[in-house]
Amino acid sequence: MTAEVPVRPARTPEEVRAFYDAHRTVRHYRTREDGTPLPLPEEHLDAMLHAAQRAPTDATAQLYSLIRLSDPGVRARVAELTTNAHVASASEAFVVCLDVRRVGRVLEVAGHAPGHWPAIAVHFGIGDAVMAGQNLLTAAEMLGYQGCWIGGVLNGLGGLLDLLELPAGVLPFAALTVGIPAEQPPLRPRVPRPLIVHQDRYRDPSDEDLRHATEVMNPIAARAGKPGDWARLLRMYFGQGGGMEAREPGLVAALKRQGLWAGEELGQ
């Protein structure tokens, strides 16, 4: 006889929507009276890390590592390098990394020669890192906390590689903070679903679709009571002369330093 597969208690669609609508990106956390991080119960941290390790992974490899930041000096330096002060005040802070070094060492210890696949390493390493980090954050939210993904690691990649002593094959993707929220940001809008979900094939949106999406998203860019301009916000990041262009050389340099750059090979 085969054992019955246990069935998880079902949640209603309304309950699922409510859980995800309760999600907020939170940068201000409750702290001790002296401003130092408020520790989480050990069993809560253990559950969050358990969730991270239960994330899906390609080819069983688990191509990620989490650098837990506990030393106040290290936290302060990571906060400075990422230009995100809440790294120092959150209850828990991590640097979420793609890590293809470990699988190579497993092969070497077993007497096998590791292959050379830097583009694949970036593709699947980032995927594994994101899934593990998001599992951790979702578990944290189930426990009543909130958190923040921090793309600001790109502001100081070289310094992070040195500070965290990251060897070749390991690259920070983002930082991730978790804690008890000390703010309640508004629910942020999202692009209309027809622009995100495509049926059977990709459908390029019309100009009118994009104008409507911009109107929907404008509130996300509102500041100090002034109406938002989402296209202007995107231009600051992704437009010509924007922040992403400024970050590009640092990322390319870090990829090369960590042995993860496939540019020369693909250009031949």
- Tokens at residue 227, please? 């109406």
Q: Which of 177-181, 195-199, 219-223 has the lowest mean pLDDT?
A: 219-223
Q: What is the mean pLDDT of the chain?
A: 95
Of 160, 195, 155, nearest to 74 by C-alpha is 160
Could you report the per-residue pLDDT of 40-71, keeping only the tens digit for each?
Answer: 999 999 999 999 999 999 999 999 999 999 99
Map residue 192 onto helix, strand or coil: coil
Whether the model pTM is above 0.85: yes
Contact 66, 95 (CB under 8 A): yes
For residue range 15-32, list pLDDT tens digits in order. 999 999 999 999 999 999
Instruction: Determine the CATH number of domain 23-185.
Output: 3.40.109.10
Predicted local distance difference test score (pLDDT) of residue 266: 42
Mean pLDDT of 73-80: 98
135 within 8 A of 176, measured Cβ to Cβ: no
Lowest mean pLDDT among 140-144, 154-158, 223-227: 223-227
What stretches of 110-242 show up as alpha helix (H) in DSSP?
118-142, 157-163, 207-217, 230-238
Task: Mention every residue, 6+ apart, whose C-beta is less than 8 A from residue 179.
Answer: 26, 29, 30, 37, 38, 40, 89, 90, 91, 92, 145, 146, 147
Domain boundaries, the chain: 23-185
Q: How many CB atoms lie within 10 A of CB 187?
A: 11
Provide, rounded to the nearest whole percent, the portion of the chain with pLDDT above 70: 96
For residue 213, the model assigns a pLDDT of: 98
